[in-house]
Structure 1
Amino acid sequence: MVYLSKDVSFCSAHKLYNDKWSKEVNEEIFGKCANEHFHGHNYDLTVTVKGEPHPETGMVMNFRDLKRIIKQELLAKVDHKNLNVDVDFLEGKMTTAEVFIKAIWEVLAPKVAEASEGHAELHKLKLYETRTSYAEYYGE
Protein backbone atom coordinates (compact mmCIF):
# COMPACT_ATOMS: atom_id res chain seq x y z
CA MET A 1 0.00 0.00 0.00
CA VAL A 2 1.30 3.45 -0.94
CA TYR A 3 0.17 6.66 0.78
CA LEU A 4 0.14 10.04 -0.97
CA SER A 5 -0.40 13.29 0.88
CA LYS A 6 -1.22 16.82 -0.18
CA ASP A 7 -0.92 19.81 2.18
CA VAL A 8 -3.10 22.89 1.81
CA SER A 9 -3.75 26.01 3.87
CA PHE A 10 -6.82 28.21 4.17
CA CYS A 11 -8.26 30.92 6.39
CA SER A 12 -11.73 30.73 7.89
CA ALA A 13 -13.72 32.34 10.67
CA HIS A 14 -16.08 30.60 13.07
CA LYS A 15 -17.51 30.64 16.56
CA LEU A 16 -18.36 27.84 18.93
CA TYR A 17 -21.77 28.40 20.42
CA ASN A 18 -24.62 26.14 21.48
CA ASP A 19 -27.95 27.97 21.16
CA LYS A 20 -29.46 25.69 23.81
CA TRP A 21 -27.13 27.15 26.45
CA SER A 22 -26.90 30.58 28.02
CA LYS A 23 -24.21 33.02 26.96
CA GLU A 24 -22.49 32.38 30.29
CA VAL A 25 -22.40 28.60 29.81
CA ASN A 26 -21.11 29.01 26.24
CA GLU A 27 -18.35 31.30 27.46
CA GLU A 28 -17.49 28.87 30.26
CA ILE A 29 -17.25 25.89 27.88
CA PHE A 30 -15.85 27.54 24.74
CA GLY A 31 -14.04 30.56 26.18
CA LYS A 32 -13.01 33.15 23.62
CA CYS A 33 -14.18 30.81 20.85
CA ALA A 34 -17.77 31.75 21.81
CA ASN A 35 -17.13 35.36 20.74
CA GLU A 36 -20.35 36.64 19.17
CA HIS A 37 -18.29 38.42 16.49
CA PHE A 38 -16.50 35.19 15.48
CA HIS A 39 -12.74 34.65 15.26
CA GLY A 40 -10.40 33.28 12.61
CA HIS A 41 -7.85 30.55 12.08
CA ASN A 42 -5.17 29.86 9.52
CA TYR A 43 -5.93 26.19 9.01
CA ASP A 44 -3.49 23.65 7.59
CA LEU A 45 -4.88 20.42 6.19
CA THR A 46 -3.08 17.26 5.09
CA VAL A 47 -5.11 14.98 2.84
CA THR A 48 -3.73 11.43 2.54
CA VAL A 49 -4.97 8.86 0.03
CA LYS A 50 -3.92 5.24 -0.27
CA GLY A 51 -3.78 2.56 -2.91
CA GLU A 52 -1.49 0.51 -5.09
CA PRO A 53 0.25 2.13 -8.04
CA HIS A 54 -1.72 1.63 -11.24
CA PRO A 55 0.17 -0.76 -13.56
CA GLU A 56 -0.06 1.62 -16.54
CA THR A 57 0.55 5.00 -14.87
CA GLY A 58 2.63 4.00 -11.86
CA MET A 59 0.46 6.32 -9.76
CA VAL A 60 -1.90 5.67 -6.90
CA MET A 61 -3.60 8.90 -7.92
CA ASN A 62 -2.46 11.82 -9.99
CA PHE A 63 -1.41 14.65 -7.66
CA ARG A 64 -2.97 17.06 -10.16
CA ASP A 65 -6.38 15.40 -9.67
CA LEU A 66 -6.04 15.40 -5.89
CA LYS A 67 -5.13 19.09 -5.91
CA ARG A 68 -8.11 19.89 -8.17
CA ILE A 69 -10.54 18.02 -5.93
CA ILE A 70 -9.29 19.75 -2.79
CA LYS A 71 -9.41 23.14 -4.47
CA GLN A 72 -12.87 22.77 -6.05
CA GLU A 73 -14.68 20.75 -3.42
CA LEU A 74 -13.18 22.23 -0.26
CA LEU A 75 -11.07 25.38 -0.60
CA ALA A 76 -13.56 27.15 -2.84
CA LYS A 77 -16.17 26.65 -0.12
CA VAL A 78 -14.16 27.39 3.06
CA ASP A 79 -11.25 29.70 2.27
CA HIS A 80 -11.92 33.21 3.58
CA LYS A 81 -15.42 32.14 4.63
CA ASN A 82 -17.35 32.04 7.86
CA LEU A 83 -17.81 28.34 8.66
CA ASN A 84 -20.99 29.02 10.66
CA VAL A 85 -22.65 31.12 7.98
CA ASP A 86 -21.19 30.48 4.51
CA VAL A 87 -20.46 26.75 4.30
CA ASP A 88 -23.39 24.57 3.22
CA PHE A 89 -21.90 21.27 4.38
CA LEU A 90 -21.54 22.66 7.91
CA GLU A 91 -25.05 24.06 8.17
CA GLY A 92 -26.55 23.29 11.57
CA LYS A 93 -23.31 21.74 12.86
CA MET A 94 -20.83 22.82 15.50
CA THR A 95 -17.69 24.08 13.85
CA THR A 96 -15.19 22.42 16.15
CA ALA A 97 -12.11 20.90 14.52
CA GLU A 98 -13.61 17.48 15.29
CA VAL A 99 -16.89 18.10 13.47
CA PHE A 100 -15.21 20.07 10.69
CA ILE A 101 -12.73 17.30 9.84
CA LYS A 102 -15.52 14.70 9.63
CA ALA A 103 -17.51 17.00 7.33
CA ILE A 104 -14.43 17.47 5.12
CA TRP A 105 -14.12 13.68 4.89
CA GLU A 106 -17.73 13.39 3.72
CA VAL A 107 -17.01 15.92 0.98
CA LEU A 108 -13.67 14.55 -0.23
CA ALA A 109 -13.94 10.75 0.11
CA PRO A 110 -16.41 10.14 -2.73
CA LYS A 111 -14.60 12.59 -5.02
CA VAL A 112 -11.25 10.84 -4.48
CA ALA A 113 -12.78 7.45 -5.28
CA GLU A 114 -14.52 8.87 -8.36
CA ALA A 115 -11.46 10.66 -9.74
CA SER A 116 -9.26 7.60 -9.28
CA GLU A 117 -11.94 5.28 -10.70
CA GLY A 118 -11.94 3.42 -7.39
CA HIS A 119 -8.20 2.84 -7.49
CA ALA A 120 -7.43 5.14 -4.53
CA GLU A 121 -9.31 5.94 -1.37
CA LEU A 122 -9.10 8.63 1.25
CA HIS A 123 -7.00 7.33 4.13
CA LYS A 124 -6.49 10.18 6.60
CA LEU A 125 -7.13 13.85 7.20
CA LYS A 126 -5.08 15.98 9.58
CA LEU A 127 -6.49 19.43 10.29
CA TYR A 128 -4.41 21.98 12.19
CA GLU A 129 -6.51 24.72 13.77
CA THR A 130 -3.40 26.29 15.27
CA ARG A 131 0.28 25.41 15.00
CA THR A 132 -0.02 23.16 18.06
CA SER A 133 -3.65 21.96 17.96
CA TYR A 134 -5.01 19.54 15.40
CA ALA A 135 -7.51 16.77 14.74
CA GLU A 136 -6.96 13.57 12.75
CA TYR A 137 -9.63 11.45 11.13
CA TYR A 138 -9.50 8.09 9.36
CA GLY A 139 -13.14 7.81 8.33
CA GLU A 140 -14.09 5.56 11.20
Structure 2
Amino acid sequence: MIYLTRIEHFNAAHKLFNPKWSEEENEQVFGKCANKNWHGHNYELYITVKGLPDPETGFVYDVKKLSGIIRQHIIEKLDHRNLNEDVGFMKDQLCSTENLAIGIWNELTPHLPPNVQLHCIKLYETPRIYVEYFG
Protein backbone atom coordinates (compact mmCIF):
# COMPACT_ATOMS: atom_id res chain seq x y z
CA MET A 1 0.00 0.00 0.00
CA ILE A 2 1.29 3.45 -0.95
CA TYR A 3 0.21 6.64 0.81
CA LEU A 4 0.06 9.89 -1.17
CA THR A 5 -0.43 13.27 0.51
CA ARG A 6 -1.54 16.54 -1.05
CA ILE A 7 -1.23 19.74 1.00
CA GLU A 8 -3.66 22.61 0.52
CA HIS A 9 -4.20 25.90 2.33
CA PHE A 10 -7.27 27.97 3.15
CA ASN A 11 -8.20 30.90 5.36
CA ALA A 12 -11.47 30.92 7.27
CA ALA A 13 -13.22 32.51 10.22
CA HIS A 14 -15.29 30.81 12.88
CA LYS A 15 -16.28 30.94 16.49
CA LEU A 16 -16.73 28.21 19.02
CA PHE A 17 -20.11 28.64 20.62
CA ASN A 18 -22.63 26.18 21.99
CA PRO A 19 -26.09 27.74 21.59
CA LYS A 20 -27.39 25.67 24.52
CA TRP A 21 -25.06 27.54 26.89
CA SER A 22 -24.98 31.08 28.18
CA GLU A 23 -22.37 33.53 26.91
CA GLU A 24 -20.55 33.13 30.22
CA GLU A 25 -20.41 29.33 29.88
CA ASN A 26 -19.18 29.60 26.30
CA GLU A 27 -16.50 32.08 27.31
CA GLN A 28 -15.43 29.88 30.21
CA VAL A 29 -15.03 26.81 27.98
CA PHE A 30 -13.92 28.35 24.68
CA GLY A 31 -12.21 31.55 25.85
CA LYS A 32 -11.32 33.98 23.08
CA CYS A 33 -12.54 31.45 20.51
CA ALA A 34 -16.13 32.29 21.57
CA ASN A 35 -15.66 35.93 20.51
CA LYS A 36 -18.98 37.16 19.08
CA ASN A 37 -17.04 38.97 16.33
CA TRP A 38 -15.39 35.72 15.17
CA HIS A 39 -11.70 34.97 14.70
CA GLY A 40 -9.74 33.43 11.84
CA HIS A 41 -7.08 30.87 11.03
CA ASN A 42 -4.70 30.11 8.19
CA TYR A 43 -5.44 26.40 7.90
CA GLU A 44 -3.08 23.82 6.39
CA LEU A 45 -4.90 20.77 5.08
CA TYR A 46 -3.13 17.47 4.42
CA ILE A 47 -5.18 14.96 2.45
CA THR A 48 -3.67 11.46 2.39
CA VAL A 49 -5.01 8.80 0.06
CA LYS A 50 -3.84 5.22 -0.28
CA GLY A 51 -3.81 2.57 -2.93
CA LEU A 52 -1.60 0.53 -5.18
CA PRO A 53 0.34 2.16 -8.02
CA ASP A 54 -1.26 1.81 -11.44
CA PRO A 55 1.02 -0.46 -13.51
CA GLU A 56 0.76 1.87 -16.53
CA THR A 57 1.45 5.21 -14.77
CA GLY A 58 3.15 4.23 -11.52
CA PHE A 59 0.72 6.56 -9.71
CA VAL A 60 -1.59 5.73 -6.84
CA TYR A 61 -3.64 8.59 -8.29
CA ASP A 62 -2.86 11.51 -10.57
CA VAL A 63 -1.92 14.36 -8.22
CA LYS A 64 -3.35 16.98 -10.58
CA LYS A 65 -6.72 15.24 -10.50
CA LEU A 66 -6.55 14.88 -6.71
CA SER A 67 -5.74 18.57 -6.36
CA GLY A 68 -8.67 19.47 -8.61
CA ILE A 69 -11.08 17.36 -6.56
CA ILE A 70 -9.85 18.89 -3.29
CA ARG A 71 -10.03 22.43 -4.67
CA GLN A 72 -13.52 21.97 -6.15
CA HIS A 73 -15.18 20.13 -3.28
CA ILE A 74 -13.30 21.48 -0.25
CA ILE A 75 -11.16 24.60 -0.75
CA GLU A 76 -13.74 26.53 -2.79
CA LYS A 77 -16.30 25.88 -0.04
CA LEU A 78 -13.99 26.88 2.84
CA ASP A 79 -11.50 29.51 1.67
CA HIS A 80 -12.27 33.03 2.92
CA ARG A 81 -15.56 31.85 4.42
CA ASN A 82 -17.23 31.97 7.77
CA LEU A 83 -17.34 28.30 8.73
CA ASN A 84 -20.34 28.77 11.03
CA GLU A 85 -22.49 30.59 8.49
CA ASP A 86 -21.24 29.96 4.94
CA VAL A 87 -20.34 26.26 4.83
CA GLY A 88 -23.26 23.91 4.26
CA PHE A 89 -21.56 20.80 5.58
CA MET A 90 -20.81 22.55 8.90
CA LYS A 91 -24.43 23.64 9.43
CA ASP A 92 -25.76 22.92 12.92
CA GLN A 93 -22.37 21.75 14.20
CA LEU A 94 -19.88 23.23 16.60
CA CYS A 95 -17.14 24.53 14.33
CA SER A 96 -14.23 22.88 16.08
CA THR A 97 -11.22 21.76 14.08
CA GLU A 98 -12.19 18.19 14.97
CA ASN A 99 -15.67 18.55 13.44
CA LEU A 100 -14.25 20.37 10.43
CA ALA A 101 -11.88 17.45 9.73
CA ILE A 102 -14.80 15.01 9.88
CA GLY A 103 -16.83 17.25 7.58
CA ILE A 104 -13.99 17.44 5.06
CA TRP A 105 -13.67 13.64 5.10
CA ASN A 106 -17.40 13.19 4.48
CA GLU A 107 -17.43 15.81 1.75
CA LEU A 108 -14.39 14.43 -0.09
CA THR A 109 -14.95 10.66 0.09
CA PRO A 110 -17.72 10.38 -2.55
CA HIS A 111 -15.56 12.15 -5.15
CA LEU A 112 -12.61 9.75 -5.09
CA PRO A 113 -12.42 6.89 -7.59
CA PRO A 114 -13.05 3.36 -6.28
CA ASN A 115 -9.39 2.32 -6.52
CA VAL A 116 -8.28 5.16 -4.20
CA GLN A 117 -9.15 5.28 -0.50
CA LEU A 118 -9.04 8.30 1.75
CA HIS A 119 -6.60 7.45 4.53
CA CYS A 120 -6.26 10.59 6.64
CA ILE A 121 -7.30 14.20 6.99
CA LYS A 122 -4.70 16.20 8.90
CA LEU A 123 -5.82 19.74 9.57
CA TYR A 124 -3.57 22.37 11.13
CA GLU A 125 -5.45 25.19 12.82
CA THR A 126 -2.19 26.80 13.91
CA PRO A 127 1.42 25.69 13.53
CA ARG A 128 1.12 24.10 17.00
CA ILE A 129 -2.43 22.68 16.89
CA TYR A 130 -3.69 20.05 14.49
CA VAL A 131 -6.10 17.14 14.33
CA GLU A 132 -5.96 13.91 12.38
CA TYR A 133 -9.00 11.96 11.28
CA PHE A 134 -8.90 8.44 9.85
CA GLY A 135 -12.59 7.91 9.19
Structure 2 counterpart of 1:128, from 107, 124, 129? 124
Task: Find runs of 4+ consecutive structure 1 residues off by over 3 angstroms.
Answer: none
Amino acid at match of 2:5: S
Q: In the TM superposition, what are the counterparts of 1:1-140 in structure 2 within 5 Å?
A: 1-112=1-112, 114=113, 118-139=114-135
Unaligned runs of 5+ in 1: none
- CA-based RMSD of the aligned residues comes to 0.7
SS class of match (2:7) = strand
The 8 Å contact of residues 54 and 119 in structure 1, kept in 2 or not, is answered as no
Deviations 1:87-139 (A, max 9, x none): 00101011101100000000111212x3xxx1111001100000000000001
Identity %: 49
Unaligned runs of 5+ in 2: none
TM normalised by structure 1 equals 0.95
Shift of 1:18: 0.6
| CA distance in 2: counterparts of 1:96 and 1:20, whole angstroms | 16
Pick which of 54-63 and 23-32 moved more.
Answer: 54-63
| CA distance in 2: counterparts of 1:93 and 1:109, whole angstroms | 19
TM normalised by structure 2 equals 0.98
Amino acid at match of 1:98: E
